[in-house]
Amino acid sequence: MITITTTTGLEAFCERARGHDYVTIDTEFLRERTYYSKLCLIQMAVPGDAEEDAVLVDPLVGNLSLEPLYALFRDTSVVKVFHAARQDLEIFFVEGGVFPEPLFDTQVAAMVCGFGEQAGYETLVRKIAKQQLDKTSRFTDWSHRPLSAAQKTYALADVTHLRDIYEHLSAELEKSGRTPWVEEELSVLTDPATYVTDPQEAWQRVKTRNASGKFLAVVRELARFREDYARGANVPRSRVYKDDALVELASTKPTTLQDLGRSRLLLRDARRGDIADGILAAVSAGLATDPKEFPKPDNSREKLQVNPALADLLRVLLKAKSESTGVAPKLIATSSDLDAIAAGQRDVPALSGWRKTVFGNDALRLCNGEVGLVVKGGSVQVFPIQQGGNVAG
């Protein structure tokens, strides 16, 4: 197994990758103790059986620059293949401000090709590559050096089998004409907004049943401070304070250090120093918020006038379309999409792009009374209805 620890070594492999149509890539990282993921290892492979066709890149040893990899990411002549790419892409976006182009995610492609919802890498290796994976090294400490032989073997398998999976799935997509479907899905993964959390909007991730404007104003300020502090100190949000402690603070509204000391849920380190000062300032800012500036919870879902019978019919239609196309139902439409459609909303993902072709057009016809559903044999089929309620044909 080849481990690259120098910039020149990485540059040589990336130049080698430019001679191929694609390169498979994976990472190992840690995020338990930091706000940003700590990149510990990069695995890369190109087509071929030679030892030099699959390598490990160690960013923790020596003075390695990842710029040769980022240059490869920008080279649109080589497809960059990942499995469940979101966390990998976040690392590279934060570290280098770059996304791989073009991108292929085998998990997304597998959902389009009939392998179910969020097909795991191990499942695809077994079904497509006809191999078994040894997962014993999965939860090891990837920041510890030296890496064991078992760790290296495990890590390399994440990109060597990925070559067979990519070739199989890309051929299936080409055959079915569904390549644009995958490309549409991947546009979200290469949008910087996917990975950027606005501290001012961080409060919306905190679950609370209290819709009081003043309460939510304090929640907003506490969440904003936590996001700013965690990002600046590069520590997990939960190491500042957890959501349940945040909600408790918004309820009790402490104004002094003594008040903080009476919190049941606040971590000891948050009762003093910069975090304590930040909490008190956030509470004060929340309480001083002009009522006109109070945050408003999104109650649009609760206000939906959902037609339950129509929602049930849409679920039957979705199941039928999923079975006939082999595409995972949750990829076509979510339960929220179906309820929104049944309530008369039309600005939902299930009614645009490839989803509209697969499901949305018939869903709209069903809502308008233009088609009905009938069971024939073991399948549900759509049939047209003429004006006046008669069956067409």
For 19: left if phi > 0, alpha if psi spans -120 to 50, otherwise beta; the answer is alpha
Cα→Cα distances 16→42, 59, 204, 384, Å: 16, 19, 46, 56
For the stretch 142-153, pLDDT in tens is: 999 999 999 999
Residues whose CB is less than 8 angstroms from the CB of residue 147 and which lie 6 or more positions away in sequence, other chains included: 41, 56, 58, 155
pTM of this structure: 0.89
- pLDDT for 137 equals 80
Shortest CA distance to 141 belongs to which of 31, 237, 2, 1?
31
CA 375 to chain centre: 36
| Dist CA 382 CA 384 (whole Å) | 7
CA 214 to chain centre: 32
Q: Please tell me the CATH code under which domain 199-293 is placed.
A: 1.10.150.80
Specify the 3-state DSSP secondary structure of 304: coil
CATH architecture of 301-384: Orthogonal Bundle (1.10)
| Dist CA 363 CA 21 (whole Å) | 39
Specify the 3-state DSSP secondary structure of 78: coil
Specify the 3-state DSSP secondary structure of 254: coil
Exposure class string for 176-212: b at 16+ Cβ within 10 A, else e: eebbebbeebbeebeeeeeeeeebeebbeebebeeee
Q: For the packed helices 86-96 and 67-74, what is the interaxial angle rounded to 10 degrees?
A: 110
Q: Please tell me the CATH code under which domain 2-194 is placed.
A: 3.30.420.10
Question: Could you list the pLDDT tens digit for every one of the 393 residues in the chain?
Answer: 999 999 999 999 999 999 999 999 999 999 889 999 999 999 999 999 999 999 999 999 888 999 999 999 999 999 999 999 999 999 999 999 999 999 999 999 999 999 988 789 999 999 999 999 887 888 889 999 999 999 999 999 999 999 999 999 999 999 999 999 999 999 999 999 999 889 999 999 999 989 899 999 999 999 999 999 999 999 999 999 999 999 999 999 999 999 999 999 999 999 999 999 999 999 999 999 999 999 988 766 666 788 999 999 999 999 999 999 999 999 999 999 999 999 999 999 999 999 999 999 999 999 999 999 998 888 899 999 876 655 555
337 and 306 Cβ atoms separated by less than 8 Å: no
Domains 2-194 and 301-384 share a fold: no
Domain ranges of the chain: 2-194, 199-293, 301-384
| Dist CA 35 CA 229 (whole Å) | 10
Residues paired with residue 384 on neighbouring β-strands, in sequence order: 371
294 and 213 Cβ atoms separated by less than 8 Å: yes
State phi, psi for 217 to the nearest 5 degrees: -65, -40
For the stretch 92-150, pLDDT in tens is: 999 999 999 999 999 999 999 999 887 899 999 999 999 998 878 888 899 999 999 99
State phi, psi for 380 to the nearest 5 degrees: -95, 130
For the stretch 297-349, pLDDT in tens is: 876 666 678 899 999 999 999 999 999 999 999 999 999 999 999 999 999 99
CA 125 to chain centre: 21
